[in-house]
Structure 1
């Protein structure tokens, strides 16, 4: 093959990366991996203890700067504050990874304020962070937005109709967003993992580890590597949608 070097993974070294929900689970694994490879990473979460633990983990192998904050993504002023920190610390924004999420069951299990918070965290925050990212990326003529969705958008489990609604919305939004911004040099990727060993899975840790060993569950690191794959493609190549499922999650 001619020009094989063009197909070797593109480096993330020096890239300015904002990860929403980066203190636990998938977001934390992504932050650890990208920071280790030289990306300048900024994360946030909603608990100080989680943030402190995550920053210690990330900085242990980070090759460059790492920043972290505690915010509430349902508050518009907190999101605005986050982007002020992006401008002050990162100076630019190359990559947004929308990962923050909360699980929820059915509409019969709560009331309006509960559903509203799930929608605000799982969907409205994605819109808000995309808007802030696009404003900065289009000024540079390039950028990459990765939205972390879920297999629930297609599986549509009867035990989680509210959560399903938000993830189905993210699926549709990602497709429309790509059509909106790709002409500005901005890539959009949707990654939809299957079952992942994170705190969102309401099972004992030992049971989740057994499922990982039996190929019925992914690790957060598996999804992080999928993110890296999408970020590593040549400029002309868009990974539009990537479904990653455990080998024996046959759905």
Structure 2
């Protein structure tokens, strides 16, 4: 497998406040990785660094290409983000929200039909306003919208936040199907059991530094849990 996303000695800060310090890791094609750590460890900042939201030094590469500060560039190169909080457009229908994902103009196997097959509830409610959906359905809508850009890598920030256990189970099945289609996933998630059901590998941050990288089975190890302060 070749590296799809690479961080090389990445530092990230907001208004001079350093959040990430010399973070280096890579995500391979078709690989699913869980990014773990306590609140404030820098997980969300790592995802946003791909889009140049914080001030970034070091190098971030997609498919071997160094990305600049143009926020649309990652999407053009095949990286999509499902942000924390879903960010559904309230004045658009479910289907209109989904179709916004085609703005990158990438084409591939993800179509309205395939995302509706993945999330049947969205098809049943396609004419409703996006904000009329339940919290779980809105998360599915955010994922469907991101898939419409046919990403090589789909990054998700706390996708289970505020969801009921039965909805989390449905989301796990959907992410497994996305993974099995060959889409790489980078998953920021507090539920370690979900990481273990979906991911191949974990990366751990603590206070903005990389402190762990290994197979998800190692997350059962008490020494590893203590090291990354889970």
TM-score, length basis structure 2: 0.38
Which structure: greater helix fraction? 1
